[in-house]
Copies of this chain bind each other. A is one copy, B any other.
Amino acid sequence: MEQKIQQLKNLLAEIADLNYISALLGWDQQTYMPSGGAEARGNQMALVGRLAHERGTSVELGNLLDELKPYAATLDPDSDEARLVKVTARDFDKASHVPSSHIVEFTQVTTLAQQAWMEARQNSDFTIFRPHLEKIVELRLEYASYFPDFTHPYDALLDDFEPGMKTADVKMIFEGLRPKLVELIKAIASKPQVDDSFLHQHFDQGKQWKFGEEVITKFGYDWKRGRQDKAAHPFTTEFSLNDVRITTRVDPDFLNPMLFGTMHECGHALYGQGVAPELERTGLERGASLGIHESQSRMWENLVGRSLPFWEYFYPRLLEVFPQFSAVPLKRFYKGINKVKPSFIRVEADEATYNLHIMLRLDMELALMEGKVSVKDLPSVWNAKMQEYLGITPPDDAMGVLQDIHWSGGMIGYFSTYSLGNLVSAQLWEKINQDIPDLDEHIRHGKFEILLGWLRQNVHRHGAKFEPQELMLKVTGSRIDPTAYIRYLKKKFGEIYGL
């Protein structure tokens, strides 16, 4: 059986390599590729995607899995080998439900849709994007129809990003979260607003960049196994566990995009750099799910990067780099970076309002998949929901329904993972603080090894071995739930706003 396992690993290594290559094609497209290269890049990505899909659904792989399943059942169910067979079988089964022709059409449709979305957003004209999104919704419904075993058509989509998670679970989690959030935001709104005007000044871009580098170097980002580049829409990607790259965006007149964006992407990258080397090229070298991945990025961005202990250490350094802060005491700075205010753009939202942006998207995705709303009505439904949830109405569709790239890439079912990531980050944080009672002291002294070590040991090294709920049970003793996040928000913003 050792030989069969090796055969399996050989097949999986090739699929992993193709996925890594695909990631490089995407990274280059979003960082350096000149516009002329777009059409050819589409061909190249379609080819690599097809080759990976062919291999991921091959008869050879299927037969090998059938042979290995009984053997895997005899192993420790948490062993690498047992998990390898289990996860591969799950992915094979899922991929085998989908005909190649669907994959090809989906790639073609979304490639064109992304271009249309860019143009639509630029002109704030939803009608440019609308026919593409209609086709995408149709294709996503077709995709869902390949999985009659799922009870809700959205389940099949969600499961691709958050293995094992059901629509009903997410709805229940969000329903527990929403009223508490609304209540908190209301309470905050009744208090005097904090000042964050000092974040909106001119900041030298080179200095911003270097400060970001300094912070994530302290976090433990390994520059020999990664690098940072600029991208309009920052992301993290990997071409190996030893080549995990981040991208960031620098706004010359606003510190936050670089500062918190860099920490956010670094959080993703630390996960990638921390997966056990023996999982490399097996398909288990990915994270457990997008939600778990997001828990890491949000933890470093918010629970660490927007905390007072963090700034007790880093604020003197920031003052050296940007002396214009010398008139701003640490406490005022801390409050400023944690200002809560309903806003239009999800990626710029504060920790309290962020999840309402996600709930809005989940509502709309569910309505689309259930046929309760049609694409043409999305802009008005979006604006009405924004008013309902956040009390504001976008001035145009670029600031509204057109702000995010996801739907143009066919990624319906993805947004929920952002909120799950927030909840998971707080759940993990409570557990970490139980295990490391003096964590704040470490952070206050610019020491992050103990935190990173804990994450490596409990989360990172496992890669995709465990489904998100399994992992959370193992690590924290409970499934994903919103109470830790609510406790975290109430305590933090209670202090900041004097609630």
> In chain A between 195 and 228, which residues have their CB closer than 8 angstroms to a CB of chain B?
222-227
Do residues B14 and A225 form an inter-chain contact, with CB atoms below 8 A? no
Give the chain B neighbours of A224 by CB distance below 8 A.
34-36
Compute how far the CA of A25 lies from the CA of B18 in the bound complex, rounded to whole angstroms.
Answer: 12
What class of interface size applies to chain A in its complex with B? 35 or more
A229 contacts chain B at the CB level, 8 A cutoff: yes
Do residues A43 and B243 form an inter-chain contact, with CB atoms below 8 A? no
> In chain A between 373 and 411, which residues have their CB closer than 8 angstroms to a CB of chain B?
none
Q: A20-B44, A25-B21, A25-B24 are in contact. Are A239 and B37 (CB under 8 A)?
A: yes
| Shortest Cβ distance from residue A54 to the other chain B in the assembled complex, whole angstroms | 11
> In chain A between 25 and 78, which residues have their CB closer than 8 angstroms to a CB of chain B?
25, 28, 32-37, 39-41, 43-44, 47-48, 51
Do residues A240 and B18 form an inter-chain contact, with CB atoms below 8 A? no
Do residues B34 and A243 form an inter-chain contact, with CB atoms below 8 A? yes
Compute how far the CA of A20 lies from the CA of B39 in the bound complex, rounded to whole angstroms.
Answer: 13
A242 contacts chain B at the CB level, 8 A cutoff: yes
Compute how far the CA of A13 lies from the CA of B43 in the bound complex, rounded to whole angstroms.
Answer: 9
Task: Taking A21-B48, A28-B28, A40-B239 as given, write out 15 further A-B residue pairs in contact, using a Cβ cutoff of 8 Å, ordered by the A residue number.
Answer: A13-B43, A14-B47, A20-B40, A24-B24, A24-B25, A24-B44, A34-B223, A34-B224, A34-B242, A34-B243, A34-B245, A37-B225, A40-B242, A40-B243, A51-B51
Compute how far the CA of A110 lies from the CA of B35 in the bound complex, rounded to whole angstroms.
Answer: 32
Give the chain B neighbours of A39 by CB distance below 8 A.
240, 242
Task: Write the chain B residue with the least CB distance to A50.
Answer: B14
Q: List 25 A-B contacts (CB under 8 A).
A: A17-B40, A17-B43, A17-B47, A18-B47, A20-B40, A20-B44, A21-B21, A21-B25, A21-B47, A21-B48, A24-B28, A32-B229, A33-B227, A34-B242, A34-B245, A35-B224, A36-B224, A37-B239, A37-B243, A39-B240, A40-B239, A40-B242, A40-B243, A40-B280, A41-B239
Compute how far the CA of A132 lies from the CA of B36 in the bound complex, rounded to whole angstroms.
Answer: 38
Do residues A34 and B229 form an inter-chain contact, with CB atoms below 8 A? no
A281 contacts chain B at the CB level, 8 A cutoff: yes
Where chain A touches its partner, the secondary structure class is helix
- Stoichiometry, as copies per complex, reads 2
Compute how far the CA of A163 lies from the CA of B388 in the bound complex, rounded to whole angstroms.
Answer: 69
Do residues B229 and A44 form an inter-chain contact, with CB atoms below 8 A? no
Give the chain B neighbours of A34 by CB distance below 8 A.
223-227, 242-243, 245
Give the chain B neighbours of A44 by CB distance below 8 A.
17, 20-21, 24, 239
Give the chain B neighbours of A48 by CB distance below 8 A.
21
| Shortest Cβ distance from residue A28 to the other chain B in the assembled complex, whole angstroms | 6
Give the chain B neighbours of A281 by CB distance below 8 A.
43
List the 8 shortest-distance A-B pairs measured between CB atoms, nearest first.
Answer: A40-B240, A37-B243, A36-B225, A36-B242, A36-B224, A17-B47, A17-B44, A34-B227
Give the chain B neighbours of A14 by CB distance below 8 A.
47
Give the chain B neighbours of A241 by CB distance below 8 A.
40
Compute how far the CA of A28 lies from the CA of B280 in the bound complex, rounded to whole angstroms.
Answer: 21
Q: A21-B25, A28-B24, A47-B14 are in contact. Are A36 and B229 (CB under 8 A)?
A: no
Compute how far the CA of A28 lies from the CA of B51 in the bound complex, rounded to whole angstroms.
Answer: 22
| Shortest Cβ distance from residue A478 to the other chain B in the assembled complex, whole angstroms | 36
Give the chain B neighbours of A36 by CB distance below 8 A.
222, 224-226, 240, 242-243
Give the chain B neighbours of A13 by CB distance below 8 A.
43
Task: Write the chain B residue with the least CB distance to A280.
Answer: B40
Task: Write the chain B residue with the least CB distance to A242.
Answer: B36
Q: Find the residue from A33, A229, A243 having the highest chain B CB count within 10 A.
A: A243
Compute how far the CA of A35 lies from the CA of B223 in the bound complex, rounded to whole angstroms.
Answer: 9
| Shortest Cβ distance from residue A119 to the other chain B in the assembled complex, whole angstroms | 13
Give the chain B neighbours of A21 by CB distance below 8 A.
21, 25, 44, 47-48
Task: Write the chain B residue with the least CB distance to A51.
Answer: B51
Compute how far the CA of A14 lies from the CA of B13 in the bound complex, rounded to whole angstroms.
Answer: 22
